[in-house]
Amino acid sequence: MQTHYPPDVEEAMRGFFDSLPERQRRRYAALEVAKLGRGGISYLARILDCDEKTIRRGRRELVQVSDLPPGRSRKKGVVGSR
């Protein structure tokens, strides 16, 4: 299985990742890791400059059924913490 992307693809992935809201970042990273297989988490964490825990959380979120309506990233009335 492929474990490295060409530099131009890595750069495009970083740009795309940085343009996403936090939840979608985690899920995107998790999807990419699923393609890479063994060693993918550490490789992708370096490429995307994110914590490996972020990717692991994204993997958990991908297998959980969302209780949010389509198009929503938060439940109504819930304010993000700062």
State pLDDT tens for residues 2-32. Answer: 568 999 999 999 999 999 999 999 999 999 9
Domain-embedded: residue 68: no
Domain-embedded: residue 24: yes
Q: How confident is the model at residue 46, as a pLDDT?
A: 95
40-45 long-range contacts, Cβ below 8 Å, gap at least 24? 40/3, 43/3, 43/4
Length of the chain: 82
Domain-embedded: residue 38: yes
- Residue 36 structural domain: 7-62
- Using CB atoms within 10 Å of the CB of residue 6, give its burial: 0 to 12 exposed, 13 to 18 middle, 19+ buried: exposed
Domain-embedded: residue 15: yes
Domain-embedded: residue 51: yes
Mean pLDDT of the chain: 85
CA–CA dist 65, 51 (Å, integer): 24
pTM score of the predicted model: 0.74
Total count of domains within the chain = 1
